[in-house]
Structure 1
Amino acid sequence: MNDSVGLRLGKGYWLNIGLLVLIFILLAGALAWTSQARIDEFEQRAQRSAELSAQGAAKEIAAELHGLGRALSLFAAKEEAALARFARDPENQGYYDDLVRRVHAVFPDAFAVTLADHSGQPLRTDFEGLVGEVCQADLIQFAKAPASRELYIHPHAEAYHFDMMVPISQPGIANAVFFVSFRPDAIARVLKNSQVYGHRLMMLRRDMPGLIEVDPRGSRDRIKQDFRLTAEELRQIRASVPIPGSRWDVVDLPDAALTADYVRQVWLHTALLVVALAIVTGFVLRYMVRSVHRQQAYTERLEETSAQLRDHAIRIQTIFDTVVDGIITINEEGIIETFNSAAERIFEYEAHEVIGRNISMLMPEPHRSGHDGYLRHYLATGERKLIGRNRELEGCRKDGSIFPLDLAVNEMHLDGHRLFTGIVRDISERKQLERIKNEFLSTVSHELRTPITSIRGSLGLLAGGAMGDLAPEVKQLLSISLSNSERLINLINDILDLNKIESGRMNYAIKRVELLPLLEQAMEANRYYATQYEVGFELVNALPGVWLMADPDRLMQVLANLMSNAVKFSPRRGVVTLAMDRPKPGHVRVSVRDQGPGIPEGFRANIFHKFAQADASDSRQKGGTGLGLNISKAIIEHFGGAIGYDSPPGEGATFWFELPTDETSAIAES
């Protein structure tokens, strides 16, 4: 391989490697960004959940306390007699026990009960649970300004409690204060019910940060441990909501271990995906390296072959440059009047041997017999079939050998006489070059098909899960590669078939075959392909008992081409209709109709040409090589039939072919 080719392949190779590495980095970065976004979203949800949980708990605790105070006021009004008795004789143990019993019957969480006079002095101070100086100070403050009373929890040797005080103004108990202490069990229940998974709700003293008063387990005397938050836990508090009318705040502390575990799981999952992506990238790099090596080998062989062809073409061109084309002039009767030296060399006649004789002597049959009739027809009607055009014909040399030639005929008038000048060139060498080109194309196509088939198989194994579950992005890349390898194999097969047809080496196994089962088999064979486009098949006007003389495999190839084209151009959930008909005696027509957009007007003249596509984007959007219809036309015409199409505006396209039935077929079994 020369230096320029090696440099070109080297640049492309490193460009592909760089692009692949860039894609890997971008995908890895995208995975990392997605993981961080998931963690941020988790943090945001946790923050919002904490705020809602703390707010809800604070509202419920405030409502609980408000309801408790209201209930206490209603109790005082209802138990006016019991309160009056106790107020008249506070030292009477019976009166006091009766009042306590009544309070406990309504308030199971009540801890202590008493009455205070208008100055806040308790009528009885030796009852269980009332903490002398603290509670008396609160009573005095409440008596002076009852509207400013705040709730808080009193420490006690046996239990924690909070005080509720309501003013009483009744006959016999004027300007008194009804005092009840409660255990905070109801508050603990509210915290427990409001607490969500992964979070810890608790109630703290606002003036003593970090001191836990109550949490879902109960008050501080029941917690026994961990009743004070650490500095790290204080920093982790997500929400703090004050309870109206109290010295407490409801705070939400997330489970740090749960959050750390979630973050660890997210990054572990990301790391596994990155490792899988790296493995796939490694496989793709290995495939690229091997592909480049094969490409270099093929390029070297192609360069060698091309050099040989160029040398051969130069030799032929040198010969052509030194030889003047044959020039032959005839009159209206087809009699040769001039015959130059190049023509002498081409036809191996001396000029004196042909001048004055009819030009048909240089033509093989059937042109020899028909030439004079063609010339008379032109002179009579002016209808041109050869004049003014270049055509490839066959010539006959002096020794009777037939050779291909390129002929251009022009008409001229000289001295009132009509003459026809023919420019003749022996194209035997050109035909030989075309044969070499076809053989070379066939060889290269065969050499390409084997490795491409192996690549397609390997990609199919990967896509089928042979290497385990793959990331969706990798599956998409494998799907694209597998689809493109299928397209390349189809292109190679079509090129090989076209080459065989053009060279006359296409083999046909002609035999008697029934048409209807063949159509049903074709529908079944192409059904999976159609399901990929969400398109169905239907067969109408089935005609059993129609027999043909044809090669069933080649006929299936024609049906596959027409049906796959119809599927590709049909809309989703469309239907491709196959139909049989007898357009005339001794013939049968098979039509394939789609529901697509139809055939563009400007494309119809080229639709059966090689590599024909309605638009340059068709091959990318719909797939295909543009050879199917050209190959189908050659096969149908070999069977003695005809192929065509109908495409009314806005009604899709219908491709059809007609074949003679067995009774009238002129094709012999071969």
Structure 2
Amino acid sequence: MASPVPLALDPTSSADARLALAEQLLACDTARACAEAMVEWLPRHAQAAAAACLAREEPGGRMSCLAAKGLSEAQHAALQAWSDDDKAHPLTDALAQAAPRFFPSARAPLPAQGTGGLFAVPLGRDDAPPVGLLLVWASGPTLPPEVTWVADHAGPFLARQATSGPLGTTGSALLRRIIDAVTDPVLLTDLRGRPRLANARAEALLVAHPDASHGHRRAVHLNQRVFATAVASTASGGAPGVSWREIPLVDPMEGMDLLFELVSTRVYEPDGREAMVSVLRNVTDLGRATQALGESYRRLRATEREARSERHRLDRVLDSVADPIILSDPSGGTVMMNEPAEKLFTPPLDGGRAAQRRVRSNHATFASFLAHLLDAGGSLRWRGQLSLMDPASGDTLPVEAVASKVLGESGELTGIVTLFRDRGEALAKARLLERLKEVSTLLEARVQVATAELAEQNEKLRRQAIQLEQASAAKSQFLANMSHEFRTPLNAILGYTNMLLQGVSGELTPPQKRNLARIDSNGRHLLEVINEILDITRIEAGRMPLHLSDFGIAELLQEVMAEMDPIIARSKLTVTTHLGAKLPPVHSDRQKVKQVVLNLLSNALKFTHEGVVKVLAEYVPSTSMLTISVEDSGIGIDPAYQEKIFEDFQQVDSSPTRAYGGTGLGLSICRRLADMLGGRVSLQSTPGQGSTFTLHFPRRPRRT
């Protein structure tokens, strides 16, 4: 940014002073430089006690104090705090009137300077709205002629700098070559969807040449109507940033129906007018793939149910065997075990650290035994005497382990079945061999029968376990990758419904509009349910990364309140925000923080019938943690359910006749997102008196 050239000497005549200012303005290439030149000149040549200039440094930016002269730091900060969104502020009214205004005695929120008054003079061109304000503190109610001259001559300079874009004539030619090289259709339009600039791909869809056929021109005309309607609808929504929607178009050359994703962004042209930049992405093939994927998913579910049934059958067989049995994979990892084996190799719930040490010792002993079997080469069976420990009591359990390799059809190792026999009983039987020989023979026969049944069932277990593992992995991967595919048909339904409601296909009768409005409402509810399920799946599959950036809590809460404004208006509740002192900038995932706050505020509005809802933000310097709390005076939550509601698909009232809708995923997603941010979500609630949900997260994510 270039700074204004300071005046070398004080000109003795008004004409020389004005000429010097004009030379400075010509040398300025930014809005701030123009502002600094004006406020330096006015106190010296217009008998002004102080001066300030408020404008935007760039198109679409925030109105701020670009330069000030003769003001204290506190007064300068007060001007910086002004926003033209504050309709009650006197400066906002002066900007809207587009004419100089005199305030006889400056008072809060206007800074006072001396005993005189304050002139607020709009800056800009005559053919466009003002781009800023020139504030001059003078001794009397008469506007000095030098102030009028500065506003008339410096205003256009400021307007040019505040609204000009980064591309000139050469840049525009370069821009044309760049967008023509893009494979997707790209357009620059006004807010009503009328094209001002389009690349070759866009012209093929939306422009008909004079020698084109009648059918070609009709297809282009239909595309123009659909595209203009979609852009105008997006622009009228007023939402900042990038917006997505799907629109149906026709291939003018082939006559085929095409489905495009329309990505639109609001921009400012060099003259300050708003415009829309739109990119069309062809997603026709995705719709066809959805049907095939749906069929594959149905077959996958059928296979999964069959595998689960076989697994349950095998579990019942293994649990019916009194001796501990463990099924291992070829590398020695445990695949499954029956209930007697679980007593040896899983710690009891109330066993403490001693029980955990005994279980680890048993695992180590068993792993060493399996290693001997795997090292035995061609041997299909391995027998060994092991000394295990009872995790609950600590007693030594001498056992005999018999491990058998399970081979596949090609002779490859597919698993290992290990049967544990209590050697204590064997020793007792040896001492009583003569008297219990008949009983021992019968027991051995039963063990052999059980081993044979186990070998037969083990083959089924191996096959079904592999199918179940593959089906489960495919399901998780499928759901994690299906975000766009799930939304595509539903967004198409919503898009067509919206077009019909807007009268694209003709005027509708009131009953038709009501029915379409119901379709649109239920479709958006279904889209919200799908988004919540997909968020849970993406988090479980590890497909939801963190996108860290610097942002302010105040601006984030303003966005949340703006998005929830229609719901707040319908609720008839009093919703307020309270920001703690000295909230620092945050380096975290802004979208995930916003999603958690939106969900907590939405729940508060849903479960509060009357009263107030408060959103509070605080910073704890000692722990470098920020807290965003949503406090309501609603129905409250019973202590018995306060942990349950954070589980997947869980609600306080899960009956079919419950009074409140929803999937039961919102708070589960909030807790998972908070964990990703390195924080947590806490709850304080009393039935009948309201609830307070609080998001705790660090100012900067902790390194792991």
Same-fold status (TM-score > 0.5):
no
Larger helix percent: 1
Normalised to the residue count of structure 2, the TM-score between the two structures is 0.39
* Largest Rg, 1 or 2: 1
Normalised to the residue count of structure 1, the TM-score between the two structures is 0.40
> Relative CO higher for 1 or 2, CA cutoff 8 Å, sep ≥ 6?
1
